[in-house]
Structure formats: C-alpha cells, structure tokens
Amino acid sequence: MPEVASLLHAGLLVSDLERARAFYESVLGLQRHPRPELPYPGAWYDLGGGQQLHLMALPNPDAGAARPEHGGRDRHVALGVRDLAALKRRLDAAGVKYTASQSGRAALFCRDPDANALEFVEIN
C-alpha cells in the first residue's frame, strides 16, 4: 500500500481572481509562484518546503451555500505562521474578521473573499 508522504498543494476556488490576489498578496503577504499554462485563470503561491497554495478562478459548485461562522467547523486549509500577532494586525488593518481557535492553541481562523476558510497556526 502506498504511503502518503506530504501535502504538495491545496487548491481553492475563487470567483474574482484579482480580488483574491489582493487578499493573498496584500493582506497575507504571499509571493506568487510561476504557474503552468492552464485553460482557466489562477495564481499559485509557494508556501515553502515544496508546498503551494493554488487559486483557481473556476465555477464554485458550493457558491451561496451556508458556511459555519467559525472556520474550524468547516473544511479549511491550515497554514503555519511565525508571528500570529503580526498577522492579527494585518487582518485588523484590512478589516478581515477572524476567530480564535476553540482548542486554546495559538491559532486563528478567517475567510478569504470567497468564504474559503483558512486556519493560521503559530509555529516556531
């Protein structure tokens, strides 16, 4: 049986690529990674360690579906950050709402402009 060794990328659907890029680049500070030619618009981001985040401007089959208020109760992508307080300042400055992890660990959840849930966990 094959052994899963790592997560290579997570793909998120977005309805407005420019709006999504503004969030991921200006608010979160991610740097774009070269993207192959594909038949739809998108943006790739390098997260280090060979891991990437892919934004895909494609129709969302869940558009308009009700989402839980707390992203930890929804499907989400967890990203490691070195300074959670700095991230909170960036989110506050951009007017992005977030909630603290309900587990008590140094983590928070927010949603991107397309309601994709993101978890940020402080790492050393």
Work out the percent of the chain whose per-residue pLDDT is above 70.
100
pLDDT at residue 64, rounded to an integer: 86
- CB < 8 Å & 24+ apart, contacts of 39-48: 41/17, 42/17, 43/17, 44/9, 47/79
Residue-wise pLDDT tens digits, 14-56: 999 999 999 999 999 999 999 999 999 999 999 999 999 999 9
What is the average pLDDT score of the chain? 95
Architecture of domain 9-58+68-122: Roll (3.10)
- pTM of the entire predicted model: 0.93
Any idea where the domains of the chain sit in the sequence?
Answer: 9-58+68-122
**Tokens for 44?**
């790739």
